[in-house]
């Protein structure tokens, strides 16, 4: 392989550490309110280079290493109760309302990943992503009446070919707790798992949860307030029934119940979950879903005062050996983050909308009207933060200007044909590292988020084809996906209406 470095030099360790510190650029032109109980100092205004080095050799090595998942049950068990253990909750943890979980990308879980080819994994991820984006768009455009008070109405995009389900946590369900993988979804107001007796269930990696074996399982009565929150709720033998159908033909049907969930050493009692006896599609391998959306029936919404409506997550960067984290509680809110106000959309109350005012490449703001990103009075448009979408989608006009600006500053890199949803790709075979312009999000109120290079130029195969990881939106809705969020601490303070970026990296 030729060592085509010329101006593209391999990163030295000290330079790599230096660049890590600059992965997250947050500047504030006007101070924004902080939602934390103790006011923190606004992030300092810093001067950063307008170009970054992307270590091609290292990323390809990590990409190939990722094809050999190492996460297994033994590694995970130390973070959870043994299924047959009864352990009292940690009083300090319960008192503080703070608890933490490991967060894993699906490609790192051996039982979910049968492919050893990066291009196959990439193509499958893009197919799931297209389904996810289509489902989110349908939810917003379907109309206010359909989604108001729809506690169990989030679109779940399913399966290897029919959905996303990119990030997983492992929790205990019932008493004694039975360990289960569940998908985290910041766009859903639902918690559910497959349940015995299973009239129809898809394959999952763990035994299906049996409510008969749990001493804490309680069916929800038909006349209860909880049951009234479920749209189109039914009643069978005095118990509340739920049914959720999705646009791709997937569904989950079963009994609404109150159950104990175990997170590490913390037990959360009387959580309303769907116990699905008939399920089709959904997430291959996972037992169900942990909804983290903004509605009252999501996990965050149900906990309410116990966590102060707050959670923080760090999506681990692709190819690394470490895991990410998901942390609940007001104490998880960091000091020094840049806070951006959340925007509420009555037509999609589960979604976390943020105000985006512009985009930048190489330190230069692109001339795009702010109106392109605004949520209008009818609930159309706007910008959603979503953990289930991989690639950030932007309105076509904004995307085209963004892409053209990036390509104009990368004319020194050899081009490659478009791949999948990407139309700005590069042939970086043989390069050790390349110099690329920075990419920035300008948020309403002043904060600027500049992404690490590996969050916007990603490998699409294992031989050196890299693509600009953005795509045009099929509608006016913009979605900030999980590739762009990776490695950055994201904090959601739903009670006070803010989302924070940084200050930590992971």
C-beta separation of 305 from 463 below 8 A: no
Helices assigned H by DSSP within 260-385: 299-303
Structure tokens at 301: 């919404």
**Strand-pair category, 415-416 with 439-443:** unpaired
Q: In this structure, is the dihedral angle defined by the CA atoms of residues 80, 82, 83 and 86, taken in order, positive or negative? A: negative
| Closest to 255 in 3D by CA, of 295, 209, 291 | 209
At residue 368, φ and ψ (nearest 5 deg) are: -125, 135
Structure tokens at 34: 């902080």
**Strand-pair category, 383-385 with 478-480:** parallel
Measure the CA–CA gap between 496 and 499, rounded to whole angstroms.
9
470: exposed, middle or buried (Cβ count in 10 Å: 0-12, 13-18, 19+): buried
Catalytic residues, by residue number, are 185, 386
DSSP character string of 92-148: HHHHHT-EEEEEEEGGGBGGG-----HHHHHHHHHHHHHHHHHHHHHHHHT-HHHHT
C-beta separation of 62 from 88 below 8 A: no
User: Given strand 425-427, what is the order of strands in its sheet?
Assistant: 415-416, 425-427, 465-468, 457-459
At residue 328, φ and ψ (nearest 5 deg) are: -110, 150
Radius of gyration of the chain (CA): 22
């Amino acid at each position: 392989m030729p060592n085509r470095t010329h101006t593209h030099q391999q990163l030295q360790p000290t330079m790599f550490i230096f660049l890590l510190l600059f992965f997250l650029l947050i500047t504030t032109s006007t101070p924004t309110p902080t939602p934390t109980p103790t006011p923190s100092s606004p992030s300092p205004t810093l001067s950063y280079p307008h170009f970054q080095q992307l270590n091609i050799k290292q990323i390809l090595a990590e990409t190939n290493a990722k094809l050999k998942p190492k996460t297994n049950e033994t590694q995970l068990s130390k973070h959870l109760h043994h299924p047959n253990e009864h352990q009292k909750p940690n009083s300090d943890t319960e008192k503080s309302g703070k608890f933490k979980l490991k967060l894993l990308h699906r490609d790192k879980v051996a039982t979910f990943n049968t492919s050893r080819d990066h291009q196959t994994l990439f193509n499958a991820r893009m197919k799931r992503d297209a389904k996810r984006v289509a489902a989110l768009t349908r939810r917003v455009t379907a109309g206010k009446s359909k989604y108001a008070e729809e506690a169990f109405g989030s679109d779940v995009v399913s399966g290897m070919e029919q959905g996303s389900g990119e990030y997983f946590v492992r929790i205990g369900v019932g008493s004694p707790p039975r360990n289960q993988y569940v998908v985290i979804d910041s766009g859903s107001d639902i918690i559910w798992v497959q349940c015995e007796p299973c009239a129809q269930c898809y394959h999952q990696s763990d035994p299906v949860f049996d409510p008969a074996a749990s001493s804490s399982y309680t069916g929800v009565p038909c006349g209860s307030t909880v049951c009234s929150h479920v749209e189109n709720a039914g009643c069978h033998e005095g118990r509340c029934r739920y049914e959720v159908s999705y646009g791709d033909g997937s569904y989950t049907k079963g009994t609404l119940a109150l159950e104990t969930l175990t997170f590490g050493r913390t037990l959360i009692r009387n959580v309303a979950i769907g116990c699905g006896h008939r399920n089709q599609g959904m997430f291959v391998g996972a037992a169900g879903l942990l909804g983290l959306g903004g509605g009252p029936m999501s996990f965050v919404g149900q906990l309410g005062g116990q966590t102060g409506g707050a959670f923080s997550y760090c999506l681990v960067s692709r190819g690394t050996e470490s895991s990410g984290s998901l942390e609940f509680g007001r104490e998880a809110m960091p000091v020094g983050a840049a806070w951006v106000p959340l925007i509420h959309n009555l037509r999609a109350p589960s979604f976390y909308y943020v105000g985006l005012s512009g985009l930048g490449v190489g330190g230069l703001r692109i001339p795009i009207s702010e109106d392109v990103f605004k949520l209008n009075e009818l609930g159309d448009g706007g910008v959603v933060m979503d953990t289930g979408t991989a690639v950030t989608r932007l309105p076509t006009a904004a995307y085209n200007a963004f892409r053209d600006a990036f390509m104009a500053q990368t004319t020194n890199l050899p081009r490659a044909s478009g791949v999948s949803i990407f139309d700005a790709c590069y042939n970086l075979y043989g390069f050790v590292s390349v110099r690329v312009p920075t990419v920035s999000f300008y948020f309403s109120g002043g904060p600027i988020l500049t992404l690490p290079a590996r969050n916007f130029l990603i490998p699409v195969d294992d031989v050196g084809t890299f693509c600009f990881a953005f795509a045009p939106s099929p509608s006016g809705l913009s979605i900030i996906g999980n590739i762009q969020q990776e490695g950055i601490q994201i904090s959601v303070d739903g009670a006070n209406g803010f989302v924070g970026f940084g200050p930590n990296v992971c």
